Structure 1
Amino acid sequence: MPKLATALTDTRVKALKPKVARYLVSDGGGLVLEVLTSGSKVWRYRYSLHGKQQPMTTIGDYPAISLSEARERARKYAKIVESGKSPVETAREDRGTVVRLDTVRLFGAAYYTARVAHMSAAYQRTITRALDKDIYPAIGDKPLSEVTALDVLAITDRIKARGAPQMALTVRNLLKRMFAYAVFRRMMTTNPAAAVEAKYVATQSSRTRVLSPDEIGTILRAIYRSNMRHELKLALHLLMLTMVRKTELTSALWTEFDLKEAIWRIPAGRMKKSKEHWVYLPTQAVSILRELEKLTGGEGYVFPSPRSREPRPVSRAALNVAVDVLKLDVADFVLHDFRRTASTHLHEMGCSSDAIETALAHSIKGVRGVYNRAGYAEERKRIMQLWADFVDTQIANPAKVNFRGAEGKSA
């Protein structure tokens, strides 16, 4: 017997993620949902006529057309096919009756459903607040095609005037993402928010951005469930656990590691302060490095470039590119935030400030700075393990996250 399609649900439709290639998910009765590489989703009707398979007929985009509406259309087209006719013309007429999402408010609702609704509760609250408090009151009823850079600037200026420059930047970034999605969907020809440069709205919160526990879990889950090279997944996890700078990790050599002693000695020449730095490795980091040792042979660079015939480390931009491809909707996030995030949460746990600063390879001024690395060794070992355990707890059901390239094994 042929395998029957499992009926779709609204929750499942929202959760479908893009892959390297577009793919189809069947609802049964000829109705299928095509998920494009961009993340867009399109309902289509698959049928045969007079014994021959026909090209699929387009029903319309999701979420503009809901699951229930798509099913109703599919049933309608099935009856037409049963009568021996093609449903193509009827489908074309039906598509013309779809309500256009041509105002900022209408499109914003569709954007939220498609790009925000599956994100963390904290992120959803931020976006909802930005839309309801700042965007819709100003331009909600304005046609998308009539929104200008001056409209965006006026919104950000009003937010800054009430003393919230970072919120102004968050709103500008949201509008830029939302309008980029509208441009992709051919509902706008240009992105007016892109013309409002972030540096003129407010300084990026590069010195204040701290990831919430929920965001830490969101990022790690997205990394491990993505299609990026497994070595890059492990590199990003290590970057979060070890609290080092990105280039300190990507240029690491196996000769710097003593996995038996769980110590990574980074030479002075690769450190920002030109002083040798010791990283006390938590058990999770040692496990990841053991795996990388098997993958690379444990010689030369820990993260060798896959494109170079000569011994070279992976490019400096590799980790940024890997994260950018994920299209994470974690507001204003950059990889350097891992260090600040670790410091903030460890301070909140009551850990020694001097030990944390030393773990981050920051200089400690005055008499307290006289102590050498061994003076904080035991405390640093403790806080590094504490931080790694904290990160683990932010991943919902970590046993199901693909840490080792096989289900059910954690790092």
Structure 2
Amino acid sequence: MLNSEFIATVEGDKVPRKYFDGRGMYIYVQPSGAKYWRLKYRYEGLEKTYAMGVYPRVSLEIAREKTEEAKQLLIQGIDPNEYKKNQGFEIVAREWFENKKDGWKSRHAQVVIDSLEKDVFPYLGARNLSAIRPPELLTIIRRIEKRGASRVAEKVLQRIRAIFRYGIQTGRAKNNPASELTGVIKTQKVQHRKALPIEELPAFIQDVKNYEGMTSTRNAILLMLLTFVRTDELRSATWDEINLEEKVWHIQGDRTKMERPHIVPLSHQAISLLKELPSYPSKGYLFEGRKAGHSISDKTMIHALYRMGYKNKATIHGFRGVASTVLNESRLYSVDVIERQLAHIDGNATRRAYNHAQYLPERETMMQWWADYLDEAQGINQVGIVGRLKGLFSR
């Protein structure tokens, strides 16, 4: 039988050598010194070889455990190599996905599989589920975080955790290494985005309407002003979320920052804008990017602001701050109504537990008031609107 000292010190010869441990298990040593664990076995009358990993990643002890597992499969009439083919992370992940996707919206299902194909399969796809360890998963998460996508990293980790849970349920994994990574996602430092000064709002709206870039970009910024949703919620919006008859936009929980469904009442102005979009009516994105079948990118609108001369003056997310300021200063609507429309979570846990109100009638009225307010901003000269705003805020 082999021992750890021999395996660690044995060197490559002029030709590949096999050193047997017993029961068909051996270590295969290449002339280069590379060492591979193998198991020789017979299945249905044919001699086969089962690969069990590379030394030193796979120790002698682990190789013996793998040999025992393979022998148990053979006793059950199962070919270890065929069984192994069904243990790969990508195979299990796609099986999990197929079982889940019918319960998701098609757009969300595409986001899920795209994230796995981009960030996980290239690194773990061929790996046996039971061989994957927490450090490997952490490397994947850090790679995503490095490109500034902490929220994506969090979602990917959730999906990996769910895939391993499915692997355990189907007998292809013994533990869930993703569960060991609780709390590893780095908390991003909150950056307060620049909000456009309210007195510059009339000129800004006119600049957007005169924007000579892509029509979809101009319309996206205008709809952002009218609805003040989050950037990702707007750019990835699809027509199946919009109900023009009921004058409402339903954003599913899997698309929101707080992972809760969000309702956006649509003003007359928002509905008119939607009906003028080139994509209306269809089943795809409201705002198509340059590539067919894809939405505008996460940089499209902010780059448009730069081209209009608003770099370091305003951000897309800052429009939410403008709307919040105007609505709060108007004193026409309660903080609860405004915060609900902004899809903020109440910081008071006790209050949050009891306040499940949607305030939809009030929000419908408020969103129409806001759209009318923006119309006034365009219809009055800048001196007039600034004066009206100052009067409003001095009440």
What TM-score, normalized to structure 2? Answer: 0.45
Please identify the structure whose Cα radius of gyration is greater. Answer: 2
